[in-house]
Structure 1
Amino acid sequence: MAKKVVATLQSGQSKKMTKVVKMVKSSKSEAYVFEEKVMNADEVDAYLKK
């Protein structure tokens, strides 16, 4: 089973995913917190500009 999954990932059929960590200021405690999100690599720039 594992060989089939690895072959699928290497063939380019799956989308390239990226983990994005963004530092934002909390509205409750005024401290900085980190938001982690896994998204498509094409959407990273738009997410970070928000």
Structure 2
Amino acid sequence: MMRPVILSSWALEVLRYENIVWDITSRYRIYQSCSRLSGMYHLILDLFRIYAT
């Protein structure tokens, strides 16, 4: 009984992780086209915001 629950929660975790990675990479591309320094600054702030939630 427990296995499907564990599997589905794991799948959700993977999907969430993929969304975070996609979010970071797309944001990084935007920031890269801006100035490099402010881009890195915002990227670090975003990482803190993501892992704080």
TM-score by length of 1: 0.26
Higher helix share: 2
Higher strand share: 1
TM-score by length of 2: 0.25
